[in-house]
Structure formats: structure tokens, C-alpha cells
Chain A
Amino acid sequence: MDFELTDLQTDLADGVRRLCQGRFPLESIRTFESAERVVDRDGWRALGEAGVFGLCLAEEAGGAGLGLAEAALVFEELGRALLPGPLVATHLAAGLVDGADDGTVVVGLVERPPAGSTVPAVVENLADLDVLLVMDDTGVASVTPDTVEATRLQRPMDPLTPLWSAAALPTGTQVGGPELSNWWRRDGAVLTAALQIGSAAWTTELAVEYAKQRRQFGRPIGGFQAIKHLCADMVVRTEVARAAVHAAAVTVDQPEVGDPLVAAAGAKLLADEAALVNGKSCIQVHGGMGFTWEVPAHLAYKRSRVLATQFGTDGPLAESLASSL
């Protein structure tokens, strides 16, 4: 048993972090704020070339043949960079949709609202998509994005996640059965949780940096326990959730060590919380400045709200964990 990252895993995460810093710095991501399209196609291909989407695809299928553990480390970095676009969906679709793995095709994914639902489907990134996959308990269907009758929502909460509302989604072409839905819901939860811990770690750093530099009452505010303890709690939340996310990913790869579904649900539950509470704490540490558009704390907080609605929300996740007791 050795639950530390291998050198290969550390190098992989470092490589993706450098790619994000060089290719997707926050200033350039922010130029897409409130746009209808947020995916930079050259950038998406660069992600594909770096292996972000084909990481878990078998080598004979042109992928890297790595596990979900490696993918989780990569997605943690993407989450830290606040990278917009349907990252998890395109990763899951690699091997099923041509061009998803190398980043030439952008794939979206949405849960079909259950029959009798009173709330419309809310679809992300529709204008950027080449393929939209629609998932429910019976399986996964492929839909051509322009056939979706949808209205663009003018005031999406996260300015980097454009949204559309659709009263109904086309039936599309069936591309997978219920087992694919189950598989994607589990792996999607783990990868989304990984994005969330990246965000939780990043908002911690942002808050700490500000707490060291901002002075009030003649000293840096980070010297006051009221602020210091907020920051310490951010670290604790992140580290506990990170352990859960890494364990879930490893459990999917090594099912003999535990129940992958339970581990994935727990990871998503704790990672959502860590990202949301840390996002809020980051704004709080920044005081009035934290409430301004300029300080990017709100971008992380809003993104984590979006991610918290995908692949399981807190109540049902906790219920599913309870059913394992």
C-alpha cells in the first residue's frame, strides 16, 4: 500500500499545470466572460494533444491507457485553472465519439430531465458543441446540437459557463445502454470532484496571498486569528476532500480495495462542499474587494456552484451513502 503519488503521477500533474499556466492564464480565460462561446478551439486541441481527453483510453485505441487516478490528478489542475468548457464530458466521450480524444471535437453531456419533470433541461456550452450526449437511466443518446430547440439564458451565474434552456431534448441516436450511464455517472462524479478540489486549493491560495498583503490595524490581516483560522479551515477541507477524491479514483481502478460507487459519492459530496465553502471564504477574506467583479474569487465560487449540480447533488449523494450503511 502506497497512497502517495508516483513520480509519473506528479510529473503528469506538473505538466498539466504548466500547460494551463502557459496556454490558459486567467487573463486570457477572462476575455471569454459572458460570451456565447467559451471554448478556444486551438486550446482544446492542445489539451487533446496533452492527453487530457484520451488519458484513460486504451493504448490500442490511441489513448494513453492510464487510470482514473491519473485523470483525477489532471482534472484537479484544470479545475485550479478555472478552465471553461465541457472537459469532463469530452473526456468521458473519448473512444465513443470520434475526435473527442484528440480535442478536435467538443462534446457536451446533459442529464435528460425525468418524465414529468417541471423544470426544463439546462444545457451548458451549447454553441461550442459538435456533439451533445443526453444521458438517462436507459442509456446515452447522441444529439446534433443544432437540432435542440433551446433559448440562451442571458444572465448565466458563471460568466464562463454559457447556458441554454430547453423544454424537451431530441431523442437522438442511442450510443450506449444503462451500463454506460452508470459508468459515466460514477467516473463523471470523480472527475468533477477533482475539478472541485482544484478550485478549493486555488481559492485557498488566493485568500492566503491576499491575507499576507492586505494591511489593516497596522499589520497584515493574515496575522489575525479570525482570518488565519478561516484560511486554516480551507486547507483542512481541501486536504480531506482530496484524500477522498484520490481514494475514489484509485478504487475505480482497483475495485478489490473497496466499493467504487460509495467512494465516488463520498468524494463528490465532500469536494463540492470544499469548493463551495472555500469559494465563499475566499470572498470573505477579501472583504469588500471580494464582492467586486475584478477579484476572481467569484469566478471560482460560481463555477463550483455549476459543478455541484452535475453528477450528483448533496442530498441524493448523502442518501446513496446512507443506503450503503
Chain B
Amino acid sequence: MDLRYTEAEQAFRQGLRDWLADTLPGLPAKPKPDDWPGRRTYDTHWQRLLFDAGYAGVDWPEEGGGRGSSPVEQLIFKEELERAHAPYVGVNFVGLLHAGPTVIAEGTPEQRQRYLPPILKGDEVWCQGFSEPDAGSDLASMRTRAERDGDHYVVTGSKIWTSHAEVADTCELLVRTGAEDSRHRGITWLILPMDTPGVEIRPLTTIAGSTEFAELFLDEVRIPVANRVGDENDGWRVTMVTLSFERGTAFVGDLLEAIELLGTTVEVARRTGAWEDPGVRRLAGHLRAELDALWALTKRNVSQAARTGVPGIGGTVFKLAYTETRQRLGEFSLGLLGRAGLAADDVDGLDGLGALPAETMVEDWLRGISLTIAAGTSQIQRNIVGERILGLPKEPSPAAGK
């Protein structure tokens, strides 16, 4: 166990730090959260800057056009970007973190050539069409139907939680090609150009008041068979291939952001006098211990990935622990604002206290509610830990019952 960085790792960190210091001051102003075209422009411009500097696809293998960095360099990359308050991956998320790696792993040479460079350069934005209104935790029960018609699939159905759909060019789409009850064995992975006739987008408003994701309605949408990645009915496996792709670094940015939020919270507590309360201090101290432990667990997972190629059990364990710690941090920080935390407006405190960061804390608290739901609810994650790690008996499966 060695927590020291090698000279090569330190050199990578320093080079990145220098580049960020040169580059970040020249960025345009951040667009408003609901200005989606503005966000697309901003995020894809940032991606282009990363590409030109050789930092695009840090975690992609070289054969996919990426940098092919080690998991430890990926960790450093995410750490430095977060510490420098660089832009988030934003609308490039699905392309860079899921669709791209899937095409690298399972796509044909033609598909790689067509789809990978535009993701790395920020020219093309992807969205994800996996979940359906009736297929959430039980994703394998999805019903969006694809019928073969010559060299096309004709797709009808609906998808939900499709982030960035309004500004996306392309969608990674899971469709049912097998029999209705074929579950995992009858799913196919398709590339859907979003301007295909029959695609309708309906934005969904979140409890935070934002329109991050949308519902997708597909009415006899014709998708070329050439857009299929992997074999027909093999889409479930194709999807799973990249699920462990991030190799333990999925939450690095979030975790560092949480550590910063704890610092802000303590600073507010000091200003308001709440820090005099031992109960407040102990809660803060406990959260510090948890966040430090999660940072250590991240390093453990990344180190494991560096040795074995996959992060092992650590990813699920991390998500369960992190999301709940983060929600408690949100409660703690919002609670300290008292009634000033009932609106996301930065009102001035009395007695020269200065602006209270209500916007940050209210937004964080609201967005935090999704953490134990998105990308597999905590309940499903506990089933995974119980069944795959501990070998406890499985939940009854509808497929097995037949």
C-alpha cells in the first residue's frame, strides 16, 4: 500500500495543472442552467480544448483515439479538473463515458471511424435511451419494439430519463428484438440519429425545477441495420461491457465537490455562530471522516482497477456509501441556514454577515435527492451486494418462474 505518486504521475499532474492555469481564464461565461443550446456550445467548446491539448478521452484506449492513461492518471485528471473548477463533462457525458467506450469495445471498424472522433472533438452529442416508463430497476423488461424491414429496423415505443435529449445528435438505444418475454436475451443496441422522423422529445421537469432529462417517444422510427452495435439480441451484454469502464473514478469530481461543500458549510457555521454548538462540530467532524474514507476507498478502487482492469466490488460499495453520506451533508449544510435555506436566493445575513450561499446549498440538497435513485437505486445496489458479493439467494425472477 503506497499513497505516494510516482515521478511520472507527478509530472502528468503538473503538466495538466499548468495547462488548466493557462486555459481556464480564457473560457467564456457559463450559460444559465436552463439554456440548453448555450450549454451545448459551452460544453462542446471545452471538449474541443481538451482534444486540442491531448486530454480528450483520457480514459479511452489509444485504439479508440483516446489517451490510454492509467487508472491513476485518470484519477489525477479528474482531481485536478475539479480542484481547478474546470467545466464538467456536461452534455458530453453519454458519449464520452458510455456510448463511445461501447463503440470502441463492440463496434465495427466503420462504426469506430464514424462515431469516435466526433465525440472526442466535441462535434457530436449523445444521449441515452435505456430506461422506459415501465422498465426502471427491471430494465430487462423493456418493451420498445424493433421490427426488421429489409436493411432497417422499425422502432416503436418510449424511453425515459434521457439526459440532454434536446441537444443531442445521436442516441444509444436499447430495443426489443426478441420475443416479448425474452428479457436479457432479446435486446439489441442501436445508434439512433436524433433527427430521424418519428422521434418526439418531451422534456421532464425535475424537483429542482430543471429540465435535465426528457421522455422520448418513438413512432415507427426507421434505423439502418448498419447502426446496430454487436449482434441482434446481444445488446444486454454489449451494454454491460462498458458498465465497469470508469474503473473506480466515476465519483471523483462529486466527492471533491462534497469536500469543498463541507468546507463552505463549516465557514458558514463559523460566521453564524453555529460552530459554538458541539453537536454541529461533531456532525462536521464525522462527515470529514466519512469523506476522507471515501477518498481512500476511491484510491483503493482505482488501484485495484490498475491491477486487474476492473474496479471489482468497490464501485457498488462506493456508490451506496457516497450517496448516503452526500445526502447527510446536504441536510447538514441546509439546516445550518435555518429559514434562510427555504429559498435558493443568496440573501445577506444580518450584522455584516455577508451573503449566505443558499443557492449552492438548496440546489445541492435538491439535486442530492436523486443520488440514491439514479444509475441503480440504493435498494437495487444492496441486492447486488447481497447476491453477487455475499452469495445470498436471489430475488424471485419473473423469467425463472416461467
Q: Which residues of A approach B to under 8 Å, CB–CB?
A: 1-6, 9, 69, 204, 208, 211-212, 219-220, 222-223, 225, 227-229, 231-233, 235-236, 239-241, 243-244, 246-247, 249-251, 254, 256-258, 262-263, 265-267, 269-270, 315, 317-325
Does B300 have its Cβ within 8 Å of any Cβ on chain A?
yes
Q: Is the CB of B320 within 8 A of A232?
A: yes
Measured in the bound complex, the distance between the Cα atoms of B285 and A265 in whole Å is: 10
B288 at the interface (CB under 8 A from A): yes
Q: Given the known A-B contacts A257-B4, A325-B284, are A319 and B289 also in contact in the complex, defined by CB atoms under 8 Å?
A: no
The answer, among B9, B263, B282, B290, for a CB contact under 8 Å with A315, is B282
Given A1-B9, A225-B382, the answer on whether A319 and B281 have CB atoms closer than 8 Å is yes
Please classify the interface of chain B as helix (H, G, I), strand (E, B), loop, or mixed, using the class held by over half of its residues. Answer: helix
Check if A240 sits within 8 Å of B294, measured CB to CB.
yes
A222 touches B392 (CB 8 A): yes
Listed A/B pairs (6) with beta-carbon separation below 8 Å: A223-B393, A228-B386, A229-B386, A231-B385, A247-B293, A262-B288
Give the number of residue pairs across the A-B interface with Cβ within 8 Å: 185
B3 touches A211 (CB 8 A): no
Contact of B4 among A222, A233, A254 (CB under 8 A): A254
List 5 additional contacts besides A2-B303, A3-B2, A229-B383; criterion CB under 8 Å. A1-B72, A232-B320, A263-B292, A267-B289, A324-B285
Query: Which of A1, A246, A267, A321 has the most chain B CB atoms inside 10 A of its CB?
Result: A1
Please judge, given known A-B contacts A4-B304, A223-B395, A229-B386, whether A266 and B4 are in contact too, CB under 8 Å: no
Chain A: CB-nearest residue to B294? A240
Bound together, the chains give a CA A319 to CA B275 distance in angstroms of: 11
Determine if B262 is an interface residue (Cβ-Cβ < 8 Å).
Answer: yes
CB–CB B390/A3 < 8 A: no
A208 to chain B: which residues have CB within 8 Å?
390-392
Please pick, from A3, A227, A229, A239, the residue contacting B303 in the complex, using a CB distance under 8 A.
Answer: A3
Q: Known contacts A2-B1, A2-B306; is A244 also within 8 Å of B299 by CB?
A: no
Of the candidates A3, A240, A256, which one forms a contact with B299 in the assembled complex, judged by CB atoms under 8 Å apart?
A3
**Chain A residues within an 8 Å CB radius of B3:** 1, 3, 247, 250-251, 254, 257-258
- Please measure, in the bound complex, the distance between the C-alpha atom of A6 and the C-alpha atom of B266, giving whole angstroms: 38
Interface of A is mostly: helix
A231 to B387, CA, bound (A): 10
Closest 7 pairs between A and B when the two form their complex, measured CB to CB: A321-B285, A266-B289, A223-B393, A322-B285, A318-B285, A228-B386, A247-B296
Among A212, A235, A263, contact of B393 (Cβ-Cβ < 8 Å): A212
- Residue B307 CB within 8 A of the other chain: yes
Closest to A204 in B: B390
Contact A232 B289 (CB under 8 A): no
Alpha-carbon distance between A321 and B72 when the two chains are bound, in angstroms = 28
- Contacting residue for B2 out of A1, A223, A231, CB 8 A: A1
What residue of chain B has the Cβ atom nearest to residue A246's Cβ?
A: B1
Task: Assess whether A231 is in contact with B386, with CB atoms less than 8 Å apart.
Answer: yes
**A228 touching B292 in the complex, CB below 8 Å, given contacts A254-B4, A319-B281:** no
Contact A235 B385 (CB under 8 A): yes
Q: B243 near A: Cβ within 8 Å?
A: no
CB neighbours (8 Å) of B386 from chain A are 222, 225, 228-229, 231-232
Does any Cβ of A come within 8 Å of B376's Cβ? no
Which of these, A222, A246, A324, contacts B296 with CB under 8 Å? A246
Give bound CA distance, A305 to B236, whole Å. 47
Give Cα distance in the complex from A227 to B2, angstroms: 37
- Option from B6, B321, B379, B394 in Cβ contact (under 8 Å) with A223: B394
Most chain B C-beta atoms within 10 Å of own C-beta, residue among A223, A235, A325 = A325
Closest chain A residue, CB of each to CB of B392: A222
The contact string, 1 if C-beta is below 8 Å from chain A, for chain B 372-402, is 0000000101110111011111110000000
